[in-house]
Structure 1
Amino acid sequence: MSESSRERQAVSQQFGHTVASDGSRLFQGIVQGDLHLNQQPERPETPPRPSAVLPFPQDRDFVDRDKILDQVHNLCSQPASRTALVGLGGVGKSQIAIEYAYRIRGRSPETWVFWVHASSIARYKQSFQDIADFLKLPGRQNPQTNVFKLLYNWLRGEKSGKWVLILDNPITATSKMA
């Protein structure tokens, strides 16, 4: 194999494009913007098994609120359900959500549980990026990727299975967005 053939093969492996002997495919990729020269190609990764992506340990001193937790569980057990814990700050909504997350994992180990810090757009996006990284979603490391859409597509796919997504302290239309 000639040296130029070896170089074309190395470039093809590096960027995932076939390079003609005159380099036209590589040039075309650069012009069209579909080659990221400073980026290593993503290698397929083994996705993790269902688990919980929670930023807090389970509170061993959790005050028993079984009635509320049972209500949350019943509401969340319906397919495609949405449930909100609403109340003044400091009454324990996040603690109930944390406890529910750990209990659902205990009851249903095949269920994914994700926690999203949603108090600002920046924290929301970082939480989605962290989840995408944990799930090893292809394309997550590309700066052009819309991580919200990437995770949304994964969540609605058949391979995702059962999941619970907890939005902690979500921003509202009247909240100041960061």
Structure 2
Amino acid sequence: MSTVHKAATVSTGEDRKPDVILDYNKTKGGVDCLDQMVAAYTCKRKSNRWPMVVFSNMLDVSALNAFVLWSGINPAWNAGKTFRRRIFLEELGKALVSPLIQRRKSVPRGAASLRMLNQIRGQPSSESIPSTSTATPPTKRKRCHVCTSNRKKTSTVCPKCREYICKEHSVTITTCHKCM
């Protein structure tokens, strides 16, 4: 469909094709070129969900458009390199992800992940454990973190690591086996 051609005119050549089709055939190379360039560096994956296919195509086309604009504005950027688009996509990905990585460094973590992080860093785990005097009693019932097959719900919390623990896996002072 085209809004450029108001009248249904036909070419004067021997093929007698409509002008709409002739104009399309002249300009369809741009779409083919776009598809070829997008296929070189794509984020598409096999998916049976059409919204994911549309989303990955939008990402691919917008990344290519960003590269074309960047190259037009900065023609001297990495001029001697052969894989300029790949370098651009790597820098684009890092620029998009780095603020989230920086934010995750300061996000408060759960007690178990904080303890594991401190073990990796070689720091003593006693500094990272919240004190029981400032901790509020649990208001929700959650599943025991020790049970494997029958994950029982409980409101009892280990005073040291603040993980939910059922009566079966706790000691009389409601401490989990890890914190004994």
TM-score range, shorter chain: under 0.3
Larger Rg belongs to:
2
Question: Of Structure 1 and Structure 2, which has the larger fraction of its residues in strand?
Answer: 1
| TM-score for both structures, normalised by structure 2 | 0.22
After TM superposition, the score normalised by the length of structure 1 is 0.22
Per residue, is there more helix in 1 or in 2? 2
Q: Which of structures 1 and 2 has the larger relative contact order (alpha carbons within 8 angstroms, sep 6+)?
A: 1
